[in-house]
Structure 1
Amino acid sequence: MRYLLLLSTLFAGIAQAAEPITMDVYRDPNCGCCKAWISHLQDNGITVRDHVENDMAAVKTRLGVPHSLGSCHTGVVDGKFVEGHVPASDVLKLRERPDLLGAAVPGMPVGSPGMEMGDRHDAFQVIGVSRDGKQDVLRDYPAH
């Protein structure tokens, strides 16, 4: 019986990993970096539904994005917000974190996905926001 439980857990994990991931992205109509970030997501196997919005502040408020973590665009995947230039690899890891409301890369750090500008890469962090509002660093990206 324990063997069957182990197998069913293993297959459930494989099925989730194999499931295609779709993200709704809300962005200002005039933002070029938002389009570049969407391309980054698509290049990494994430299907994007692109929503052009004139009132991004209202979108962020509705989704529960803390003001201190704000950036230019906001995505939603599996009911969780993805704020700013979060790398696709970190978006995919959100599926493993049911305790989080979302993740954010605050501001617009040069060198983050969608903000590539030559050889410059500023340090940035991916911040997770838990259901109780606590913020933790999920990943550090050093400058180089």
Structure 2
Amino acid sequence: MKAKLLLKGRALRVAAFATLFMASAAQAAEALTIDVHRSASCGCCKKWIKHLEANGFKVNDHVESNMSAVKQRLGVAPRLASCHTAVINGKFVEGHVPAAQILELNKHPDLAGIAVPGMPAGSPGMEAGGRQDAYQVIGLTKTGTDQTIAEYPAN
């Protein structure tokens, strides 16, 4: 009888774990959906979208006629601007941010968003000729200050 109760308890724990795992997997898949806003003529934006998709993101691609208005609406500071702007879980992602930093964005609840200002050679979507300029991923806090999230060296 005791062995039967132990097996029943173990089965319940396994079922509970499986339920939690499935719920976590569903939430993770949901978290990987990103909305990208770009102009129709931008080729590097399309390459960045391919980078995101190759790293597990589901991309909702929005072609915009006024990117300045999109950036302003989302709170992207002009000093952080680049060619495209994305939104994930209510936070902006500006420019050629690597997927690794986007995946870690939830670890930074104090941030309004992250950015790779400009269009540095060698960043995702800007790979051409094997050159990589040094660049940083900058986080913008909700209070308006910048902090370095990641650094990528030149090659």
Deviations 1:12-69 (A, max 9, x none): 9x92796111000000000000000000000000110000001000000000000000
Q: Which has the higher helix share?
A: 2
Aligned pair 1:123/2:134, yes or no?
Answer: yes
Q: Residue 73 of structure 1 aligns with which residue? A: 84
Structure whose CA Rg is larger: 2
Aligned pair 1:27/2:45, yes or no?
Answer: no
TM (norm. structure 2) is 0.82
Aligned pair 1:108/2:108, yes or no?
Answer: no
Once residues 35 and 89 of structure 1 are traced to their aligned partners in structure 2, the CA distance between those partners, rounded to angstroms, is 18
Once residues 119 and 50 of structure 1 are traced to their aligned partners in structure 2, the CA distance between those partners, rounded to angstroms, is 27
Once residues 35 and 15 of structure 1 are traced to their aligned partners in structure 2, the CA distance between those partners, rounded to angstroms, is 30
Q: Residue 144 of structure 2 aligns with which residue? A: 133
TM (norm. structure 1) is 0.88
45-54 vs 18-27, which moves further: 18-27
Q: Percent identity?
A: 56
Once residues 56 and 136 of structure 2 are traced to their aligned partners in structure 1, the CA distance between those partners, rounded to angstroms, is 22
The correspondence for 1:15, drawn from 24, 32, 36, is 24
Q: Residue 7 of structure 1 aligns with which residue? A: none
Unaligned runs of 5+ in 1: 1-10
Unaligned runs of 5+ in 2: 1-19
